[in-house]
Amino acid sequence: MKKAVVLVSGGLDSATTLALARQQGYACYAVSFDYGQRHVSELNAANQVVEKIGVEDHKTIRIDLDGIGGSALTDTRIAVPDKPSKGIPITYVPARNTIFLSLALGWSEVLGARDLFIGVNAVDYSGYPDCRPEFISAFEKMANLATKAGVESANSNDGYFRLHTPLIDLTKAQIIQEGIRLGVDYSLTVSCYAADDKGAACGVCDSCRLRRAGFESAGIVDPTVYQ
Amino acid sequence: MKKAVVLVSGGLDSATTLALARQQGYACYAVSFDYGQRHVSELNAANQVVEKIGVEDHKTIRIDLDGIGGSALTDTRIAVPDKPSKGIPITYVPARNTIFLSLALGWSEVLGARDLFIGVNAVDYSGYPDCRPEFISAFEKMANLATKAGVESANSNDGYFRLHTPLIDLTKAQIIQEGIRLGVDYSLTVSCYAADDKGAACGVCDSCRLRRAGFESAGIVDPTVYQ
Q: Can you give chain A as a three-state secondary structure string? A: CCEEEEECCCCHHHHHHHHHHHHCCCEEEEEEEECCCCCCHHHHHHHHHHHHHCCCEEEEEEECHHHCCCCCCCCCCCCCCCCCCCCCCCCCCCCHHHHHHHHHHHHHHHHCCCEEECCCCCCCCCCCHHHCHHHHHHHHHHHHHHCHHHHHCCCCCCCCCEEECCCCCCCHHHHHHHHHHCCCCHHHCCCCCCCCCCCCECCCCHHHHHHHHHHHHHCCCCCCCEC
Q: How far apart are CA B46 and CA B21, in angstroms?
A: 16
Tell me, yes or no, whether A223 lies in a domain.
no
Would the pLDDT of A155 be above 80? Answer: no
Tell me, yes or no, whether B227 lies in a domain.
no
| Dihedral sign from CA coordinates of B173, B174, B175, B177 | positive
Tell me, yes or no, whether A226 lies in a domain.
no
Tell me, yes or no, whether B188 lies in a domain.
yes
| Dihedral sign from CA coordinates of B216, B218, B220, B224 | negative
Would the pLDDT of A177 be above 70? Answer: yes
Other CB atoms within 10 Å distance of the CB of residue A79: 10
Determine the distance in angstroms separating the CA of A100 from the nearest CA of chain B, rounded to an integer.
9
Higher pLDDT, B11 or A86: B11
Name the nearest CA neighbour of B58 among B66, B68, B47, B69. Answer: B47
Q: What is the mean pLDDT of residues A68-96?
A: 89
Cβ-based contacts under 8 A for chains A and B: 145
Q: What is the mean pLDDT of residues A83-89?
A: 87
Residues 6+ apart with CB under 8 A from A19: A53, A179, A182, A183, A184
Cα B15 to Cα A178, B34, B130, B169, B201: the distances in Å are 52, 17, 19, 17, 17
Q: What are residue A179's phi and psi, to 5 degrees? A: -65, -40
In terms of Cβ atoms closer than 10 Å to its own Cβ (0-12, 13-18, 19+), residue B84 is exposed
Q: What is the domain range of residue B128?
A: 3-218
- Using a pLDDT cut of 70, give the percent of chain A over it: 98
Probe site for chain A from B102, B109, B141 (most A CB atoms < 10 A):
B102
Q: Which of B65, B109, B141 sits opposite A138 (nearest CB)?
A: B141
Q: What is the mean pLDDT of residues A86-90?
A: 88
Q: Which residues of A sit within 8 Å Cβ distance of B?
A: 59, 61-65, 67-70, 88, 92-99, 102-103, 105-107, 109-110, 129-130, 132, 134-135, 138-139, 141-143, 145-148, 150-152
Tell me whether residues A70 and B109 touch, CB distance under 8 A. yes
pLDDT at B38: 75
Probe site for chain A from B33, B61, B66, B98 (most A CB atoms < 10 A):
B98
Q: How many domains does chain B have?
A: 1
Name the nearest CA neighbour of B109 among B142, B138, B146. Answer: B146
Tell me, yes or no, whether B226 lies in a domain.
no
Tell me, yes or no, whether B55 lies in a domain.
yes
pLDDT at A157: 63
Q: How far apart are CA A2 and CA A8, in angstroms?
A: 18
pLDDT mean for each 10 residues of chain B (227 residues)? 96 98 98 86 96 97 87 88 88 94 96 97 90 97 95 75 97 98 97 92 94 97 96
| Dihedral sign from CA coordinates of A204, A205, A211, A216 | positive
Which residues of chain B have a CB within 8 Å of the CB of A160?
none
Tell me, yes or no, whether A173 lies in a domain.
yes
Name the nearest CA neighbour of B198 among B48, B19, B33. Answer: B48
pLDDT at A156: 60
Which residues is A7 bridged to in the sheet? A31
* CATH number for the domain that contains residue A144: 3.40.50.620
pLDDT at B157: 63
pLDDT at A116: 98
Which ipTM score applies to this complex? Answer: 0.95
Determine the distance in angstroms separating the CA of B165 from the nearest CA of chain A, rounded to an integer.
15
Tell me, yes or no, whether A225 lies in a domain.
no
- Chain A CA closest to residue B127: A148
Q: What angle do CA B115, B124, B209 make, to 5 degrees?
A: 125
Q: Which of B93, B103, B138 sits opposite A99 (nearest CB)?
A: B103
Per-residue pLDDT tens over the stretch A12-57: 999 999 999 999 999 999 999 998 887 779 999 999 999 999 999 9
Would the pLDDT of A154 be above 70? Answer: no
